Every structure is written in structure tokens, then in C-alpha cells.
């Protein structure tokens, strides 16, 4: 007697991505249909999931002195930026290219904060001409450079200094940005001097103070610890006659990749605002810069199993997606769920390392995953909406994947698949 079909896995934390009638669906579209129509590897996003996450933040901020600025680096696809701009979000950028994307998507430059530890003078000029809301400055050297550039343009640059509060965010060291050893920000011990120096520069206008301690933080304590240190510094700075219009507390909550239990945007924002209220700063304009939590669990990466092979010790599922398509596992040793588009009964399940075809031992999407596979099967790497396509490369001369946005029963191609001809198009051969 044949074994009954296994129940499809549940996908907690992934709104609008679920199994129905044995098929993995993004909203009302089976992912197998998307793979046939658009090919693989393929990034797929749910419009409803993105808008739901964005609205959760907007609801938490309703009636409060809060400004929301989406961190473009998480996912900079024009269609996604367009969705957020239409919901009234502003943007946190870290390059001139991201500024160009925001403007092309219909974003308001007056709601853009320009972060980043190494801004080019050409990027400063573009941001000043566009009229960005604020530059988050990370060094005294940058203060003087921005002052000179603004003077050359006859502009006054609004600035906020990014302070490194030396708080351990208890996340991966590559995405923990508030440590004493981090390249980011101005050390808290040097902050008052930096503000005093900035106040003397004629083409700068101090508008705020900024702090960003890292990404994928799933508890409140690091945020509250950083805020307490910032409040001490704010009192010191304003005691010396420098007024601050806003406090920028950086990124939003982490997301669920496996068994994490991050606070909701309402609980997270509420705790920070209550701490501000208790300290007598309830009147302050507060800025938040969520990224991953807006788009992360709204997306997945589809990939086809090319080859199943075994060594003496391990079983491998070689897929057509690789580290150039999804860098997080190789870069951070990150864990993301990998599920079949159409689950089998599990009778032939093995423990596979899911790997790509790139010539690197670090080219893997997931290790030791229990899967019942055949060559030609379709897999979905979940939680791929953030830092997936945004970090993709052309390593091994591999064209980048296409992107699709699902809206109910409709699938919109929002980025065409690259071709090898496009990759070669900007290169020049030598003439002998």
C-alpha cells in the first residue's frame, strides 16, 4: 500500500505565501506557473505582503511624531520603491544610484535621508540639487567635505550626525554596526566635539542625530540600550546650545527566517516612543528606517534542481540558482527555509546540501535539508525579499535573475532576465 501524501509544510511568518491543493502559491498564483512562464532562477514577490508590512508600520506610527524611511539597500527594485512611495513612505539611501532609483520610482527627495560612510562628492552634489531631507554624516572629514561642496553650489546642507553608541546588537557581526570596532558612525565620546565643529561650518545646518546599531535584531533590549545612550548625549549637546529637530533611530525589527520571534512594529515602536516620553522627549520628531521587515518575508527565490549527486559522505542537490543570485548563505552563513513547489510523500527523502553551479565551495543555498527530490523539481528559497536580488552579482558571467511581482491573480515582470550579451556590451576588446 502506498504511503499517504505528507502534509505540506506550514510557512509561518510568510503572509500571502502558502500551500493550497498541494501547490506552493504566492497570493493566487502557483509558483510552478511562474517558473514555466518566466524561467528560473526567479525572484517572486507578493504585493499584498509588502503592502501589509508597510501598513503595519504606518498604523504603528499613526498620530505619533514619526517619519518612516524605507532602507532602499534591502530591495531597490523600482516597482517596490514605487509601491512604498505611493503609500507615503520616504527613503533611506546609501548611494547616488539609490537616490536615482528613488526619484525614478516617484519618491519625494524631501523625504530622503542620505546615509553611508563614504559619500562621493558627485553624490553629495546630486543629493543637494535634488533637495534631500538630510545627510547622515559619519565623520568630521565628511562634515568639512560636505560643507565645501554645499558652499560651491550655494546651498545649505541639512545634517544629522550618525553616532556609534557602542552597543552590541547581538546579531551577525557583518550586520552589527554599533560596535566599538565598527567603521560606521562617530564614536559617542567624540560626538559633542563633532557637533560643535559642525555648528561653526557656514554651509551646514544641524537638524538631527542618528543611530543605527545593525540589522536582523529580534529583541527590544539593544534598541532601548542604544536609545538611553543617545538621550544622555542629546542632553549634553543641547546643553551646549545646539538644537536638534529629530532623532533617527535607524532600522526596524528583524524577521522570522526560522524560529525567531521578533516584536511587532507596534510593540517595537511603542517601547521606543514610551522610553522617549518617560525621558521628557515625547515631543521629538522620530525617524525609523525599516528595510528587511518590509520586504524580507514577502519574497522567495525559485530554482530548478539540475542534478542530484552523492559523495561518500553527503548528498547534493545542484540547482540553477547560486551564490551570485543569493549571497546571504555564503556571506553570512545565513539560514533560509527551502521548500518544494509541489511536496512529495517523503518516502525517498534524503538530507541534501542544496548548492549552486558556481565554482566555489562556498556556493550553497542550504545545508543538511531533508527533502524528497527528483531532478527537474522546483524549489523555493523563502525569506528572499531582502538582500537577495539587491546583492546579486554576475560572478562566473552568470546573468542575474528576473523578478516578478504577484498581485492577486496577476504576475507582473518587474525586471527582465539579463543576457550574456548585455554583460559583454560595456566591455571593449583590445585592438592589436
Q: Grid coordinates in use for 323?
A: 551564490
Which pLDDT does position 181 carry in this prediction? 56
Q: What is the pLDDT of residues 294-337, one digit of tens each?
A: 999 999 999 999 999 999 999 999 999 999 999 999 999 999 99
Q: Is the per-residue pLDDT at 172 higher than 70? A: no
pLDDT value for 2: 40
Above 70 in pLDDT, residue 9? no
**Contact between residue 257 and residue 279 where contact means Cβ atoms under 8 Å apart:** no
Span 417-421, average pLDDT = 98
Q: Which residues are annotated as a binding site for substrate?
A: 292, 328, 332, 360, 387
List the one residue out of 284, 293, 116 whose CA is nearest residue 212.
116
**Widest CA span in the chain:** 84
pTM of the model: 0.94
Give the annotated binding-site residues: 252, 289-292, 328, 332, 360, 387
What gap in Å lies between CA 92 and CA 115, rounded to an integer? 7
Nearest Cα neighbor of 44 from 57, 33, 60, 54 is 33
* Active-site option among 1, 359, 430, 431: 359
* Mean residue pLDDT across the chain: 93
Active site residue 211: no
Give the Cα-Cα-Cα angle 279, 284, 285 (nearest 5 degrees). 145
**Position 262 pLDDT exceeds 60:** yes
Query: Could you give the domains of the chain?
Result: 17-46+296-424 (2.40.37.10), 115-290 (3.20.20.10)
pLDDT at 173 over 90: no
| Mean pLDDT for the stretch of residues 262-271 | 94
pLDDT digits over 189-200, tens only? 899 999 999 999
List pLDDT tens digits, range 11-55. Answer: 878 889 999 999 999 999 999 999 999 999 999 999 999 999 999
Give the annotated binding-site residues for pyridoxal 5'-phosphate: 252, 289-292, 387
What does the block give as the cell for 165?
553608541
Instruction: At 256, list the grid cell.
Output: 522570522
| % pLDDT > 90, the chain | 82
Amino acid at each position: 500500500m502506498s504511503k499517504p501524501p505528507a502534509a505540506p509544510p506550514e510557512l509561518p511568518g510568510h503572509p500571502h505565501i502558502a500551500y493550497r491543493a498541494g501547490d506552493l502559491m504566492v497570493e493566487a498564483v502557483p509558483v510552478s506557473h511562474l517558473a514555466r512562464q518566466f524561467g528560473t532562477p526567479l525572484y517572486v514577490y507578493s504585493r499584498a505582503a509588502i503592502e501589509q508590512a508597510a501598513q503595519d508600520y504606518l498604523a504603528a506610527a499613526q498620530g505619533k511624531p514619526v517619519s518612516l524611511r524605507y532602507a532602499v539597500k534591502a530591495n531597490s527594485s523600482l516597482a517596490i520603491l514605487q509601491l512604498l512611495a505611493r503609500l507615503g513612505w520616504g527613503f533611506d539611501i546609501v548611494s547616488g544610484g539609490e537616490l536615482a532609483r528613488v526619484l525614478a520610482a516617484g519618491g519625494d527627495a524631501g523625504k530622503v535621508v542620505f546615509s553611508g560612510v563614504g559619500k562621493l562628492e558627485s553624490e553629495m552634489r546630486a543629493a543637494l540639487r535634488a533637495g534631500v531631507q538630510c545627510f547622515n554624516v559619519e565623520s568630521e572629514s565628511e562634515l568639512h567635505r560636505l560643507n565645501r561642496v554645499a558652499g560651491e553650489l550655494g546651498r545649505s546642507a541639512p545634517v544629522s550626525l550618525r553616532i556609534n553608541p557602542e552597543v552590541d546588537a547581538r546579531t551577525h557581526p557583518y550586520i552589527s554596526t554599533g560596535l566599538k570596532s565598527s567603521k560606521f558612525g562617530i564614536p559617542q565620546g567624540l560626538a559633542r566635539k563633532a557637533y560643535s565643529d559642525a555648528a561653526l561650518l557656514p554651509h551646514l545646518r544641524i537638524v538631527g542625530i542618528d543611530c543605527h546599531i545593525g540589522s536582523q535584531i529580534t529583541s527590544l533590549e539593544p534598541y532601548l540600550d542604544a536609545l538611553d545612550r543617545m538621550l544622555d548625549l542629546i542632553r549634553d549637546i543641547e546643553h551646549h546650545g545646539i538644537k536638534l529637530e529629530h532623532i533617527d533611530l535607524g532600522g526596524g525589527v528583524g524577521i522570522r527566517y526560522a524560529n525567531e520571534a521578533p516584536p511587532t512594529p507596534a510593540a517595537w515602536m511603542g517601547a521606543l516612543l514610551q522610553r522617549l516620553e518617560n525621558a521628557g522627549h515625547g515631543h521629538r520628531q522620530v525617524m525609523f528606517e525599516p528595510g528587511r521587515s518590509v520586504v524580507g518575508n514577502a519574497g522567495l527565490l525559485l530554482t530548478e534542481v539540475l542534478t542530484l549527486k552523492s559523495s561518500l559522505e553527503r548528498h547534493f542537490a545542484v540547482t540553477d540558482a547560486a551564490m551570485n543570485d543569493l549571497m546571504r548563505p555564503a556571506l553570512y552563513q545565513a539560514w533560509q527555509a527551502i521548500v518544494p513547489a509541489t511536496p512529495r510523500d517523503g518516502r525517498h527523502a534524503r538530507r541534501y546540501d542544496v548548492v549552486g553551479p558556481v565554482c566555489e565551495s562556498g556556493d550553497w543555498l542550504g545545508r543538511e535539508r531533508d527533502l524528497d527530490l527528483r531532478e527537474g523539481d522546483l524549489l523555493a528559497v523563502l525569506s528572499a525579499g531582502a538582500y537577495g536580488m539587491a546583492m546579486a552579482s554576475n560572478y562566473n558571467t552568470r546573468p542575474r535573475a528576473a523578478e516578478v511581482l504577484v498581485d492577486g491573480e496577476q504576475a507582473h515582470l518587474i525586471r527582465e532576465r539579463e543576457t550574456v550579451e548585455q554583460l559583454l556590451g560595456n566591455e571593449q576588446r583590445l585592438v592589436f
